[in-house]
Amino acid sequence: IDPSTTQTVYAGTYGGGVYKSANSGASWNTVNAGLTSAYIQFLAIDPSTAQTVYAGTNGGGAFKTTNGGTNWSAINNGLTSTIIQTLAIAPSSPQTIYAGTNGGGVFKTTNGGASWSSVNAGLASIIVQTLAIVPSTPQTVYAGTFGGGVFKSTNGGTSWSTVNTGLMDTYIYSMAIDPSTPQTIYVGTNGGVFKTVDGGTQWSTVNNGMTGTIVQSLAIDPSTTQTIYAGTSSFTNSGGLFKSTNGGISWSAVNNGMRINTDINSFAIDPSPPQTVYAGTAGSGVFTTSATPVNGICGSSNEQAFTSAPTSNLCLSGVTSNVTGSGPWSWTCSTSNGGASASCSATLGLPLTLAFAGTGGGAVSSDMSCTSGSPCLSQIFTTGITVNLLATPDAVSTFSRWTGDCTNTTRSCPVTMNSAKSVTATFIAAPKAMINSTGYTSFADAYTAASGSPTIIKLLEDVLPISSAISKPLVLSGGYLPDFSRSSSGFTVLQGTFTIGSGSVVMDRVIVK
């Protein structure tokens, strides 16, 4: 985020180069002129000259722009490793930059990238995933490595020493220093989040409530440093975004509006207001949120607040909405915390309604995540998003079809929210028994239809009532699935009594109770 114009945001992509937004992510444009590698690993903005941006790439080394991305140039003099994992700019001396590389350790420049030198004395692991500089003492630098844990330098990289006591996982992906208490540091690892309050002398695990343990990104709210965000990997099917408001003592998932199991790679927090957070993902683009509501000043009955009351009105009193159509609308404001220049805008949310039909049973899930990670169904969705539904029949039913705004006959159903949508999932109760290709709703019906010597009756993997006198030759074959393919280990339970008179019964995978 541009610190001087916070509506300007940069995003580095893997294969698409650098994108830039001038309106807080509402729209993006590529800014790749001169950029010979489109695989962006890291971006860093000069804190004193916001038009100067540095990019670390996978294989192309480091690049620099001095005009906000209009043109880039390579700055690789002395940089012998060109896989740049991370960059860190000294805040009080922005010509001093550190680059963490994959296989080359740490490099340092003191002239804005004109030349680099290796600074690896004491650095036993040279795959450097993350770097962090203490703002108040910029000679103190921390390096998180892949397999070697955390290293610390107190002399600007001249020498390094390990600070791993208590750190039970040494594969470090991310790091964040508390700006108000720089002895407090958080690292994200393969084994969750660890915290030190003494500059790395001792670490402790802070994972309570966090279901995703591969923590790829961390960010601290600069105005409330007890608030920390953690982005996790989808590798263990528990990816997403977690938030702590008590310095890591406990965490909760904050994934409402994201797809389930989203892979979070990076964060950026708007310094004004710090409630606005951007999350960069693997394959799902950029997400953003603001925890501050409009508070009803914009003058529409369709206004929808978010989470908490603001300290002041965010929109100028008397400003009316400039939208039409039915709501609900999600309000946002163009400036932070109100004022005479504030103006209102709105994004229409559209309802997706789900219904069920048929003689059978089942469930429908979606790839969108709601509060506490539950699937979003019959909810309001942002205009233009595609919601992917999946129908799953229960153990004694089959899925038949979708009707309404989706007409698929397969279990999957993508619904693009360009208007209010309604879909119905139909499930059919599976036959309890089958002779050849004809299904029957009970064992008694199948027995009545049986003829031949003998009749093979396939039985559903279920509990079936029976009360019959058997006077026909039968082969009862049990344990079939609803589509009457054979289960690998299923049985049918016949519950009741039956007598065998002039008939005969051969049973396979059938239990009589």
Answer with the residue of higher pLDDT: 392 or 350.
392
pLDDT of residue 25: 82
Cis peptide before 375 (omega within 30 of 0): no
Amino acid identity, position 235: F
Considering the domain boundaries, does residue 117 fall inside one?
A: yes
Considering the domain boundaries, does residue 452 fall inside one?
A: no
Same domain, 333 and 365: no
pLDDT band of residue 418 (cuts 50, 70, 90) is confident
Cα–Cα dist 156/139, whole Å = 4
Same domain, 224 and 318: no
Considering the domain boundaries, does residue 512 fall inside one?
A: no
Cβ contacts of 115 within 8 Å, gap of 6 or more = 77, 78, 109
Stretch among 84-88, 348-352, 447-451, 469-473 having the lowest mean pLDDT:
348-352
Answer with the residue of higher pLDDT: 61 or 264.
61
pLDDT of residue 229: 94
Same domain, 79 and 113: yes
Overall average pLDDT of the 53-62 stretch: 97
Overall average pLDDT of the 478-505 stretch: 86
DSSP codes joined into one string, 213-266? --EEEEEE-SSSTT-EEEEE-STTS--EEEEESSTTS--EE--TTSBTT--EEE
Same domain, 264 and 405: no
Same domain, 230 and 305: no
pLDDT of residue 408: 87
Domain final residue pick, 411, 429, 447: 429
pLDDT of residue 315: 44
Enter the tokens of residue 324. 């039409």
Closest by alpha carbon to 361, among 330, 325, 392?
392
Domain final residue pick, 429, 452, 469: 429
Considering the domain boundaries, does residue 435 fall inside one?
A: no
pLDDT of residue 333: 46
pLDDT of residue 308: 32
pLDDT of residue 235: 73
Same domain, 168 and 38: yes
Overall average pLDDT of the 142-160 stretch: 97
pLDDT band of residue 237 (cuts 50, 70, 90) is low
CATH for 99: 2.130.10.10
Cα–Cα dist 87/84, whole Å = 8
Same domain, 262 and 384: no
Overall average pLDDT of the 457-472 stretch: 88
Domain count, the chain: 3
Domain of residue 79: give its range.
Answer: 9-290
Same domain, 155 and 26: yes
CB 99 within 8 A of CB 116: yes
Average pLDDT, the chain: 84
Residue 119's CB is within 10 A of a number of other CB atoms, namely: 22
Same domain, 24 and 109: yes
Domain final residue pick, 429, 455, 482: 429
Same domain, 211 and 282: yes
Same domain, 83 and 21: yes
pLDDT band of residue 369 (cuts 50, 70, 90) is low
Give 274-314 pLDDT, tens digit per residue. 568 888 888 778 877 653 333 334 433 333 333 333 333 33
pLDDT of residue 311: 36
- Listing from the earlier edge strand, what are the strands of the sheet with 29-30? 9-13, 17-21, 29-30
Considering the domain boundaries, does residue 408 fall inside one?
A: yes
Helix, strand or coil for residue 371? helix
Closest by alpha carbon to 310, among 346, 345, 273, 270?
273
Enter the tokens of residue 320. 């009316």
Asked if pLDDT for residue 404 goes beyond 60, the answer is: yes
Asked if pLDDT for residue 412 goes beyond 60, the answer is: yes
Q: Name the burial class of residue 501, with classes exposed (0-12), middle (13-18) and buried (19+) by CB atoms within 10 angstroms of its CB.
A: exposed
Considering the domain boundaries, does residue 196 fall inside one?
A: yes
Considering the domain boundaries, does residue 454 fall inside one?
A: no
CB 450 within 8 A of CB 438: no
pLDDT band of residue 236 (cuts 50, 70, 90) is low
Same domain, 264 and 411: no
pLDDT of residue 240: 84
Cα–Cα dist 392/115, whole Å = 59
Residue 349: alpha-carbon gap to chain centroid: 21
pTM for this predicted structure: 0.65
Considering the domain boundaries, does residue 330 fall inside one?
A: yes
